[in-house]
Amino acid sequence: MTGLAGKRALVTGSTSGIGLGIARQLAADGCSVMLHGFGDPTAVERLRDALERERGVTMRYDGSDLTRPEAVAALVDATVAALGGIDILVNNAGVQHTAPIDEFPPERWDAIIALNLSAVFHATRRALPHMKRRHWGRIVNTASVHGVVASPNKAAYVAAKHGVVGLTKVVALETAGSGITCNAICPGWTRTELIEPQIAARAAALGVGLEEGARALLAEKQPSGQFVTVEQLGRLAAFLCSEDAAQITGAALLVDGGWTAQ
């Protein structure tokens, strides 16, 4: 229904969480997909094979370390070689660390900025020439509600995600009218591996179980009282890649259960 059959997509950070939800949806819509991320090699291969068989599309995998610029470029090149091109780039890979600024390890700052922000630039820079030659392309960046607002103890993550939103707007302006769009998705609390440590910390602080800790986390920020799901984000990403979204570019789309409406 999205008209994406035959398109070639790279989704970074797609062996789990939001990235996997997006990769699953793109594959369901007929895209060939380069999976990327870390994980047990056997488990990743099972995942790749299952998606390929279920969806009837080509699925490939690359485990490049995207904190290194040359590895980001190599990943884009590998996608082009394996799939015959790149039409869709989803910059999703990310990490998190929480600490007050005066206690924040500098090496964690550098790693978060490298993966959550710099890798988005390096992948976009490498993929754009391929899209420009075809006069069609879709870039979807997984930002965060923290690309729009801030929370304590997340200096690197908030800085990186604000940067992703700004970079999204620049790419959108530079490619406007070319057949290429660039948008950012800004999820609120989504129940993935990335926030499980924060749920556990909240539960421990309150002396309650994990589910009560999760509810407390939601109650603090997300008025809906419900987690965003990876399936919802996958469908939104696929819509942004469709022709129906051809005039949506430079947007930072909040999917936050009312978080930023307060």
The Cα 202–Cα 207 span in angstroms is 8
Q: CA 112, 173, 17, 53 torsion: positive or negative? A: negative
Q: Which of 136, 95, 151 is nearest to 243 (CA)?
A: 136
Catalytic residue among 22, 79, 119, 157: 157
The Cα 74–Cα 10 span in angstroms is 12
Clarify whether 157 is annotated catalytic.
yes
**Strands, E, within the chain: which ranges?**
8-11, 32-36, 59-62, 88-91, 137-142, 180-187, 252-255
- The answer to whether the beta carbons of residues 36 and 8 sit under 8 Å apart is no
- The answer to whether the beta carbons of residues 94 and 116 sit under 8 Å apart is yes
Question: Which residues belong to the active site?
Answer: 157
